[in-house]
Amino acid sequence: MEGYSKIVAKNIIALRKSKNLTQQDFAKVINYSDKTVSKWELGYAIPSVETLKQIADYFGVTVDFFLEPHEEITSKGVVRLMNKETRRLLLLLLVDLFFLSVAAVIFAAMATTFAGGVNYWPIFLWAISSCLFFNSLCANKWWRHTIWPYLLVSLTIWLILVSLYLTLIYSDMHYNFWYLFFVGLPIQLAAIIILSLTHSTSK
């Protein structure tokens, strides 16, 4: 039987190729040098348990997956990965549709019950904000080594501020709340720093 270093090497190579990544691309994803990745794939070294967990999360497999030979990894491994990613995306889609459906029901109910020139469409902005917030949490858990958590968190923060601003503008409070946007940038920077620190300590 092959040594574990060779088995791990073959599995890393197969999974990397299943996503059409070069060694350089893969190295950037997991924040390692391409030389280190090359050593892993040549069987000269084995990633630590923490690193294997990071790689496993990225490809949608378990750590045990790397320790066993897989003759059909290029087919079964890809199918397994695609199924897991598909389930995640489907969950996000269903939750997003739920929030938007609730917003549509509330909008219709308020527009029917309360007559007049009141604008209720900011309800949909709050629904989209809720969707983005949920998507941010999921992205931080599932795709934390990509740009998606940072992008979604930033969009969530600014859309919440826009939603709050428009809600106040269309209320009976006759004030200009444009200064709310001044807090957007500090909050965004703080969120990005917190995400970066969280991701660096989890490696």
pLDDT per residue over 71-103, tens digit each? Answer: 555 545 555 555 666 777 778 888 888 888 887
> Whole-angstrom Cα distance, residue 101 to residue 149?
25
Phi, psi of 151 (to 5 degrees): -65, -45
User: Degrees (nearest 5) of the Cα angle 101, 106, 112?
Assistant: 125
Q: pLDDT tens for residues 120-146?
A: 777 778 888 888 888 888 888 777 777
Structure tokens at 61: 């497999």
In this structure, of 45-54, 86-95, 156-165, 172-181, the range with the lowest mean pLDDT score is 172-181
Residues in the chain: 203
Confidence of residue 40 (pLDDT cuts 50, 70, 90): very high
Average pLDDT over residues 41-45: 91
pTM, 2 dp = 0.53
Burial of 170 (0-12, 13-18, 19+ CB in 10 A): middle
